[in-house]
């Protein structure tokens, strides 16, 4: 019988053709099956094990299924988030969106709106770390809202979080505005680029949550256009965007009356989060 270490090495070799990070993928799945932190995997390498669940996970990954969907959970901003296809997988670059919002509302009571919440990872992280904030999260997809609600409940945040179904600002009930901050990780993939995305994305993630017109900015335009009337004076709008989008988004913000537009780069150096404020009183 093969040892755990040998099984891991074999899995890495098998996944090399379908993954850009085969060892990471294999270690995440193996740690999940063994019920140990990934950092402790090395303590099991010499043990012999059949690991049928691991074999099943590898077969699914060989069909390009994303690891978070296989595991049913993923870490985001140091929080475990339940994940279910086709709701978008939480990604590390989106953590910068949370950072920008937390910097704006930290240490004070605030009302925050997230548009297009998906798994709820952004809204849950904001509520978890901004302990005086009330967070409203919207999505057009009822399955996403159900998932986001479970994540809020899992982290004990339902008292300070509310979920609304609908298209962008239309999801809000009368009197819910204004907010101290509005944030969104909206669809921003150009329609012509969908075919060039990895099979893991194209085959499993919801295209309606990914694609936003020919230039990828259809949804961002609508959010910027409606945000000022839903923000307090000096309120923040923060948006995740695609590579090369910032110049256009910056001008959209200025044209809509926002001031002090800035950009936050992700760890790859890509301009990822555009943010600006409404004029102060």
In tens digits, the chain (281 residues) has pLDDT values of 799 999 999 999 999 999 999 999 999 999 999 999 999 999 999 999 889 999 999 999 999 999 999 999 999 999 999 999 999 999 999 999 999 999 999 889 999 999 999 999 999 999 999 999 999 999 999 999 999 999 999 999 999 999 999 999 999 988 888 999 999 999 999 999 988 899 999 999 999 999 999 999 999 999 999 999 999 999 999 999 999 999 999 999 999 999 999 999 999 999 999 999 999 98
Quick one: fold of 77-81+85-277? Rossmann fold (3.40.50)
The string of DSSP letters for the chain reads --BHHHHHHHHHHHHTTT-S-HHHHHHHHHHHHHTS-GGGGGGGTTSB---HHHHHHHHHHHTT--HHHHHTEEEETTEEEE--TTSPPP-GGGHHHHHHHHHHHTTS-EEEEEES-TTSHHHHHHHHHSTTEEEEEEES-HHHHHHHHHHHHHTT-GGGEEEEESSGGGGSPTT---EEEEEE----B-GGGGGGS-HHHHHHS-GGGTB-STTS-HHHHHHHHHHGGGEEEEEEEEEE--TT-HHHHHHHHHHTT-EEEEEEE-TTS-EEEEEEEPPP-
Q: What is the pLDDT of residue 190?
A: 95
Q: What is the pLDDT of residue 37?
A: 94
Domain-wise residue ranges, the chain: 4-63, 77-81+85-277
């Amino acid at each position: 019988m093969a040892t755990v270490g040998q099984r891991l090495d074999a899995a890495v070799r098998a996944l090399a053709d379908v993954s850009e990070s085969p060892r990471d993928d294999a270690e995440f799945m193996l740690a999940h099956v063994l019920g140990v932190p990934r950092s402790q995997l090395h303590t099991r390498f010499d043990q012999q094990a059949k690991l049928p669940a691991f074999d099943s996970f590898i077969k699914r990954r060989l069909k390009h299924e994303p690891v978070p969907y296989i595991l049913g959970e993923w870490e985001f901003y140091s929080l475990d988030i339940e994940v279910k296809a086709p709701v978008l997988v939480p990604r590390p670059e989106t953590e910068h969106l949370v950072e920008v919002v937390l910097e704006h509302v930290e240490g004070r009571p605030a009302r925050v709106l997230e548009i297009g919440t998906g798994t709820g990872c952004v809204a849950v992280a904001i509520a978890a770390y901004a302990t005086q904030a009330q967070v409203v999260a919207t999505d057009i997809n009822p399955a996403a809202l159900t998932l986001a609600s479970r994540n809020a409940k899992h982290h004990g945040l339902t008292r300070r979080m509310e979920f609304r179904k609908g298209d962008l600002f239309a999801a809000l009930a009368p009197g819910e505005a204004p907010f101290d901050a509005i944030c969104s990780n909206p669809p921003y993939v150009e329609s012509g680029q969908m075919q060039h995305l990895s099979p893991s994305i194209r085959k499993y993630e919801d295209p309606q949550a990914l694609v936003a017109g020919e230039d990828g900015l259809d949804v961002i335009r609508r959010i910027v256009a409606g945000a000022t009337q839903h923000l307090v004076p000096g309120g923040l709008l923060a948006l995740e965007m695609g590579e090369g989008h910032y110049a256009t988004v910056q001008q959209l913000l200025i044209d809509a009356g926002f001031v002090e537009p800035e950009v936050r780069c992700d760890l790859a150096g890509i301009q990822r989060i555009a943010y600006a404020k409404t004029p102060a009183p």
